[in-house]
Amino acid sequence: MTTTTQSPQAAPDSRTPSRAARLLADRRLPVAATALLFLVMYGVGLSRYQFYGFAEPQVFLNLFIDNGYLLVAAVGVTFVILSGGIDLSVGSMIGFTTMFTAWLVERQGLPLALVIPLALAVGAFGGFLMGYVIHNFEIQPFIVTLAGLFLFRGLCLVISKESISISDSGVSSMAQAQVSLGMGFLSIGAVVSLVVLALAFYVLHYTRFGRRVYAIGGNEQSALLMGLPQGGTKIAVYTVSGFCSALAGLLFTLYIQSGDPLHATGMELDAIAAVVIGGTLLTGGSGYVLGTLFGVLVLGLIKSLIQFEGTLSSWWTKIATGVLLCAFILIQRFMTTRKKA
């Protein structure tokens, strides 16, 4: 007589994360949420304003034309936040670049081909200087970049206390140039911003420098023990941010065709908001530059929807941005809490 014994079934491992837990731990979730938010908002615009031209392809392309300079600035801020830092000097650097460019072109008569590299060099050097002070003197990035904010805004007033209009034919021709896409067109500024986005994506995800940025932002002590060049990387990310801010200033100059001491006031907050809404953690180490693109598009779409509505004040843009920013910060907090649990 034979007896069969059944082996006891293995008890499920309580430590195995559920599907929901794995989903919440996925770093791509914030980017997907921002992309979904953009699609939902765009769908609402199509259904509500379809008889007012919202469905025209050019309306979508205008999101890149009207926000190209913000995208470039936000890309630079993405590098800084991924490394665990912050840059509050972005808006004043953009404003200074507009004043510096207008002053050199209109008052000094320098050709635009010479002014552009000069402006970019000044922006990169300003970022390098802030990064150098942050690393070598171990001062909080908030304080150093806040000083940079006041410095470059003050330099705007040193150049001129009034707006400087640009009548140079070279600037006008570049500002009015269009790249035809068949169904619409993009401006030079929009094309440049997309090129910068593509370069940033490659650098962050396919180069050693990009891996160092993520490593330092994720855990600075671990990165130090691994022998990564912490100081050089920190200085480099602020240099990149300064360069991108200066480039954004040049694009903003083409967009507005003038320099003004008050240009881009508060734009650093818009750039940081776009980065956070795009899914990059404020603590660093997690995020994607494509998320920054969707963050900028969401902010631009809010402006477009308010314009099509016609009955709302432009201040609703700030209100909506604040609500979204709080929502995404709470999502980030919830995700990081679940990871630690």
Q: Note if the pTM is more than 0.75.
A: yes
C-alpha to C-alpha distance for 202 and 340, rounded to whole angstroms: 30
Quick check: is 79 in a domain? yes
Rounded to whole angstroms, how far apart are CA atoms 151 and 296? 27
The amino acid present at 149, given as its one-letter code, is L
Token digits for 109? 């008569």
Tell whether 60 is covered by a domain: yes
Q: Is residue 6 part of a domain?
A: no
CATH code where residue 146 lies: 1.10.3470
Residue 14 lies in a domain: no
Instruction: Flag whether 20 is in a domain.
Output: no
Structural domain span for residue 37: 29-44+55-340
> Residue 313 has which token pair?
């004040």
pLDDT 10s digits, 256-294: 999 999 999 999 999 999 999 999 998 898 899 999 999
User: How many residues are there in the chain?
Assistant: 341
Residue-by-residue pLDDT tens, the chain, 341 positions: 444 445 445 454 555 566 656 655 667 788 999 999 999 999 999 999 988 899 999 999 999 999 999 999 999 999 999 999 999 999 999 999 999 999 999 999 999 999 999 999 999 999 999 999 999 999 999 999 999 999 999 999 999 999 999 999 989 999 999 999 988 999 999 999 999 999 999 999 999 999 999 999 988 888 888 888 888 999 999 999 999 999 999 999 999 999 999 999 999 999 999 999 999 998 898 899 999 999 999 999 999 999 998 877 778 888 888 998 898 888 777 766 655 55
Buried-state track 278-312, b at ≥16 Cβ within 10 A, e below 16 = bbbbbebbbbbbbbbbbbbbbbbbbbbbbeeeeee
Return the H-helix or E-strand segment holding 173.
helix 169-176
Q: What Cα–Cα distance (Å) separates residue 34 from each residue in 84, 194, 224, 294, 321?
A: 21, 19, 33, 6, 13
- The answer to the question of residue 153 being in a domain is yes
Cα Rg, the chain, nearest whole Å: 23
Please name which of 33, 246, 39 lies closest in space to residue 148, comparing C-alpha atoms. Answer: 246
Token pair 């679940």 is at which residue?
338
Residue 132: other Cβ atoms inside 10 A:
16
Cα–chain-centroid distance for residue 38? Answer: 16
The structural domain count of the chain equals 1
Helix (H) / strand (E) containing 165? strand 164-165
Q: How many CB atoms lie within 10 A of CB 243?
A: 23
- Is 16 within a domain? no
Count CA within 13 A, CB hemisphere, residue 10: 3
Q: How far apart are CA 137 and CA 132, in angstroms?
A: 8
Sequence letter at residue 222: S
Structure tokens at 170: 């070279």
| Alpha carbon distance, N-terminus to C-terminus of the chain | 53
Residue 12 lies in a domain: no
